[in-house]
Amino acid sequence: MGDEGGRVFLRGITSEQYGLAEHRRLQRSAPRVRRAGTVVDDATVGHSGDSDEGLSKTWWMLGPGDDPFLTQTLQVHFVELKPGGSNHGHGHQNEATFYILEGSGHEIHDGVRYDWSKDDFVVVHNDSVHRHYNASETERALALVIKAKSAWMYLGMVQQGRSKPFDGAGYGAPQEWSRLWTPGATERKKVVKSSDTRWEDTRDGRLRIISSPARTDVRAFSVDLYEQEIRPGGRSAKHWHMADEVCYVISGAGRSLQWDVEAEITDKYRARVADKPGTWDFTPGDLVYVPQNTVHQLIASGAEPLRVLVAQNRLFKLLGYDSVVYLEDASADAATPASAARA
């Protein structure tokens, strides 16, 4: 569905005959790396909350309106705040998460201030009126926004817009949306500092968990996020899970190996993993996409450590797909000296 400006909020799935094989084929045939600087939506349809004075800018790398289409599980865009700038205050029912790539500033969420700086993770909670501010008069602030907005749209929670008067005709007195929220939600962290996390050695390599179901202190319910660092020449685990994911390359270069999985439907469901992987090279600023139900692995091939942010839509876990199958552990030399020193 879209608005008059042509924005696609949620893409439908249709077929002239029973079966979705062609839909899956087209999705898999699309390029799985969005190059740095890609703009699939430059916010000209007026939905971004950009300021009229040009002090903020939004551009999208991944969303349900893309052609070729990859996913509407996660949407990814950037928010840039010029020195001393802010965007329009606006509100929407869906949660949104921000990773601060550059600069420092603060948020106003429902009248409450939250300060942030580089490498912080910021959560805009459900049903929030919010606005972003750059604290510097000389340097820009840049955030990577990752959200599962289509899930809200699919469930009929579509109310959003900029602040405006409500005449109240035919309606009762205002009531707090918070009456509907998960108990204890308002006590959770809205800003996760690097110091709030720790580096861990796992089967997937060296990483720090930023948002996950286990982090019940963080007010994020829809997006799971971790940062990973891999030494040049090292590799992550070769693993398999049902959720699709996006991988934003902060620094370094490498390759994404992806083995497609097909369903064998006979007396029961069985998985058939491709003998050979597809290979996609990436460099800083690129966005790597891994489709649902795909075996995958990262290899750091540049001269510097590979640093990536990996995100998934948590809904998959709530639907019963919360296992990760490890077909090969990360290489023993995958951990970088930088992350080891910060543990």
Range of the domain at 99: 21-187
47 pLDDT more than 80: no
- Are residues 166 and 256 both part of a single domain? no
> What does the pLDDT read at residue 188?
97
First to last CA, the chain: 46
Q: Where a domain ends, among 187, 203, 226?
A: 187
- 124 pLDDT band (50/70/90 cuts)? very high
Share of the chain above pLDDT 70, in %: 94
**Tokens describing residue 263:** 């369903």
Mean pLDDT of 108-131: 96
Distance CA 285, CA 236 (A): 19
Distance CA 328, CA 197 (A): 26
**Does the residue 6 lie in any domain?**
no
Distance CA 21, CA 275 (A): 20
- 291 pLDDT band (50/70/90 cuts)? very high
Distance CA 45, CA 39 (A): 14
Per the CB < 8 A criterion, the answer to whether 91 and 130 are in contact is yes
pTM of the model: 0.93
- Are residues 272 and 243 both part of a single domain? yes
Tokens 């994020």 belong to which residue?
220
Distance CA 9, CA 307 (A): 31
**Does the residue 4 lie in any domain?**
no
Distance CA 213, CA 211 (A): 7
CA dihedral 143, 147, 150, 156 (to 10 degrees): -110
> What does the pLDDT read at residue 43?
72
With CA atoms as reference, report the closest residue to 307 among 257, 258, 245, 253: 253
CB-facing half-sphere around the CA of 262: CA atoms within 13 A:
9
- Are residues 127 and 268 both part of a single domain? no
- 156 pLDDT band (50/70/90 cuts)? very high
Q: Where a domain ends, among 169, 187, 205?
A: 187
**Does the residue 2 lie in any domain?**
no
With CA atoms as reference, report the closest residue to 89 among 126, 136, 48: 48
> What does the pLDDT read at residue 54?
78
Mean pLDDT of 139-158: 95
> What does the pLDDT read at residue 45?
58
Mean pLDDT over the full length of the chain: 91
Q: Which residue has the higher pLDDT, 6 or 225?
A: 225
How many distinct structural domains can be found in the chain? Answer: 2
> What does the pLDDT read at residue 1?
43
**Does the residue 13 lie in any domain?**
no
Mean pLDDT of 126-139: 95
Which CATH number is 171's domain given?
2.60.120.10
238 pLDDT more than 50: yes
> What does the pLDDT read at residue 341?
55
